[in-house]
Structure 1
Amino acid sequence: MVKVSIKDIAKLSGVSAATVSRTLSKPSLVSKSTRKKVMKAVDETGYKPNRFGASLRTQKSNNVVVVMPDITNQVNAAIIRAIENEATKAGYSVLLGDTQNNIERDSYYGDMVTSGQADGILVFTPRIPFTINKDKPLREQLPPMVNSCEEIDSEYVHKVVIDNQLGAVKAMQHLLELGHTKIAAVKGPSMTPSTKARLDGYKQALIEAGIEVDNRFIITGDYGPESGFQAMEKLLRLKERPTAVFCFSDDMAIGAMNALREYDYDVPGDVSVIGFDDITYASLMSPKLTTIRQPLDQMGTQCMQILLKLMNGNKDVEKYVELPTELIVRQSTGPLVS
């Protein structure tokens, strides 16, 4: 079999070898028509670029690391898909790190960047995954990095986020407008920034409506469906039960609805349920789940786009991008039945 080289691709596509190399390594820098000619030649010849050799010449790995607390979660899966789509277009491979909320795993994946195995990192946990020297400015120690979902408490970290507190207020206002005053909250892990912000929004909406916050109505889950089921069981055992439940994730809302169904309660006739995220299953439930939509595809895409700029040495990069949430009204919420 004859080995095809970059020069062969250049001759066939009518461009220079340097343009072929640029098209394969950084396609975003090449015009659409040029990319089309080069990729047509690549497809026709079956050319396979030597990425290892290229990384030695450029001192780049063409890899990025994505650090997630749980890659099986549907929210994270949707974000990962968008990241991979954007990374592939730019000639990068994605190394996926599932930390399982283990701080040591954070550091392990962070080391991939500092050791040169990856050129940048996307962090979806609230921790910087590197050893930081407190005697030196933080901004001088950070590699190309973008944070999302669970916010890292630092002004020097580039972020793509939503306003979790405002999203929670939207959910609560919907239930309040339906006449509900006994509204429970099934929250996520207490120490996560998203949980804290959503809990603040829950309390803010009640206080603004002149309703006292009842801590008996606040149950802690772990963002998973089983914890939603168990939380709903606890709420049903109360002498004074809630007429509506705001779950801080769709997974927990689905678990709560399953519990209500098992105990012969009607949704939303007896209890209204609202979630947060708008995962795929939200619209497939029966009844369909009312929820607060996060723009998950947009989050993944923008995270990767900003990281690409940072890895290319672009200094004029958005530091803080806030994306909007949206109330999606379906069938799981309804007016208070007196």
Structure 2
Amino acid sequence: MQQQKLATIEDVAAIAGVSIATVSRAINEPTKVADATRRRVNEAVAKTGYTTNAMARSLRMRRSNMILILAPDVGDPNFSNILVGLETEASKRGYGVLIGNTQNDPERETDYLRFINSNQADGLILFTGHLPYGVGAGDGSGTRLPPMVAVNEPVTNSAVPYVGVDNFEGARIAAEHLISQGHRRIAFIGHSTTKAVNGLREQGYRAALAGAGLHIDPRLILDGDGTTESGRAATEQMFVRDVLPTAFLCVNDATALGVIISLNARKYDLPREFSVMGFDDISFASFVTPSLTTMKQPRLKIGEEAMDLLLALLAGETPARTEVLLRSELIVRNSVSRAARE
């Protein structure tokens, strides 16, 4: 039986009625080709089976056209919409994505890096806030260092490019909104010495209070790890101390939910007796009682910008910016009202 001849790029060009260079652009840089032309090329590729050959050539070039995403928790409400942006931008440029749910486990994180070692992934998107365990600097001490971009949580003390929301500015705007409603004793729930995002949001809170000439009471700044339980526990701690604010600025919406749960359990009338402000605008924010006033992250845009930056690095380009900070948007709902007392 005669072996079928493998299709070539010339075959695709002939069927599509375009040049070889146009076929190459349509496959490798589809956004630079007109829609009608790209469709003709894709139809010719499907008809000839040329995709198989293109994949084999990619392997010979030690490129996979896949991006590995490392996330500590894919159940994080912020993750899914950012992922949509990442996938959308990757797909436009002929890339796919692999998702590694690390669960903050160093062994799982190291295990996922096999995709880098075996050339099954070309670059990394990091949601973890740190360099992957097992990544070396190309000195033979570990996995080679691939192009990487951090998302949501910057990698401190590193040169890893970062894309996220302007946490300082967003928290400053949130605190200023509370101040504009007459609040003078504003608690901050989410102090952390390890999480960069928490630190930036606390700095924004402090800047807003200082700008308004308000005293920053350290007793109103409580630790929080971003979970609902940490918000509930911090609120209970304030009642034990008998040091109460009129408003709570929470490091994220999950923390704000914990605050609301604690205050509702004590039968307080919200927001008349206490105002609560979140950050992120995750899916449940509009469904809690009272509905949550918060700062909305442009999650889709964050994903698109992060993937665009990573693919520029993979192409050997020098990005114009290695830190992309996007603005958050104040979303006014029902959990904040005028201060009734001081």
CA 1:36 to 1:246, structure 2 compared with 1: closer, same or farther past 3 Å?
Answer: same
Where does residue 325 of structure 1 map in the other structure? 328
Contact 1:6 1:20 in 2 (8 A): no
Superimposed CA distance per residue, residues 170-197 of structure 1 (whole angstroms, 9 cap, x where no aligned partner): 1111111111122112106530101111
Contact 1:309 1:317 in 2 (8 A): no
Where does residue 313 of structure 1 map in the other structure? 316
Where does residue 235 of structure 2 map in the other structure? 232
CA 1:63 to 1:336, structure 2 compared with 1: closer, same or farther past 3 Å?
Answer: same
CA 1:31 to 1:198, structure 2 compared with 1: closer, same or farther past 3 Å?
Answer: same
Contact 1:165 1:199 in 2 (8 A): yes
* Partner Cα separation in structure 2 for residue 314 and residue 297 of structure 1: 23
Structural RMSD (CA): 3.0
Superimposed CA distance per residue, residues 254-275 of structure 1 (whole angstroms, 9 cap, x where no aligned partner): 2322332232222211111111
Partner SS for 2:78:
helix
Where does residue 207 of structure 2 map in the other structure? 204
- 1:119-198 to structure 2, matched below 5 A, reads 119-129=122-132, 131-133=135-137, 142-154=145-157, 156-187=159-190, 189-198=192-201
Matched, 1:217 2:217: no
* Partner Cα separation in structure 1 for residue 82 and residue 258 of structure 2: 22
* Partner Cα separation in structure 2 for residue 245 and residue 3 of structure 1: 70
* Partner Cα separation in structure 2 for residue 165 and residue 181 of structure 1: 20
Aligned counterpart for 1:257 among listed residues 251, 255, 260 = 260
Where does residue 95 of structure 1 map in the other structure? 98
Matched, 1:291 2:311: no
Number of aligned residues: 332
Q: Which deviates more from structure 2 when the two are superposed, residues 74-83 or residues 186-195?
A: 186-195
- 1:256-275 to structure 2, matched below 5 A, reads 256-275=259-278
Where does residue 115 of structure 2 map in the other structure? 112
Where does residue 57 of structure 1 map in the other structure? 60
Amino-acid identity (%): 38
Q: TM-score, normalised by structure 2?
A: 0.85
Superimposed CA distance per residue, residues 108-132 of structure 1 (whole angstroms, 9 cap, x where no aligned partner): 4445335422111112233222544
Q: TM-score, normalised by structure 1?
A: 0.85
* Partner Cα separation in structure 1 for residue 114 and residue 121 of structure 2: 9
Q: Which deviates more from structure 2 when the two are superposed, residues 68-77 or residues 32-41?
A: 32-41
Partner SS for 1:143:
coil
Aligned counterpart for 2:281 among listed residues 278, 283, 289 = 278
Shift of 1:203: 2.4
* Partner Cα separation in structure 2 for residue 133 and residue 47 of structure 1: 40
CA 1:86 to 1:248, structure 2 compared with 1: closer, same or farther past 3 Å?
Answer: same
Where does residue 340 of structure 2 map in the other structure? 337
* Partner Cα separation in structure 2 for residue 337 and residue 153 of structure 1: 41
Superimposed CA distance per residue, residues 29-61 of structure 1 (whole angstroms, 9 cap, x where no aligned partner): 433332132235567x59683365243233211
Shift of 1:134: 10
Contact 1:189 1:223 in 2 (8 A): no
Q: 2:226 is matched by which residue type in structure 1?
A: Y
Aligned counterpart for 1:300 among listed residues 299, 303, 314 = 303
Contact 1:27 1:90 in 2 (8 A): yes
Contact 1:188 1:223 in 2 (8 A): no
Superimposed CA distance per residue, residues 217-262 of structure 1 (whole angstroms, 9 cap, x where no aligned partner): 2232221223323333333444232211111111221232233223
* Partner Cα separation in structure 1 for residue 289 and residue 27 of structure 2: 47
Shift of 1:101: 2.8
Superimposed CA distance per residue, residues 270-329 of structure 1 (whole angstroms, 9 cap, x where no aligned partner): 111111112232233332211112221111100001111111122354322221222222
Q: 2:127 is matched by which residue type in structure 1?
A: F
Contact 2:85 2:300 in 1 (8 A): yes
* Partner Cα separation in structure 2 for residue 92 and residue 103 of structure 1: 27
| Structure 1 alignment gaps of length 5 or more | none
- 1:237-252 to structure 2, matched below 5 A, reads 237-252=240-255
Partner SS for 1:181:
coil
* Partner Cα separation in structure 1 for residue 6 and residue 88 of structure 2: 27
Contact 1:125 1:150 in 2 (8 A): yes
Partner SS for 1:277:
coil
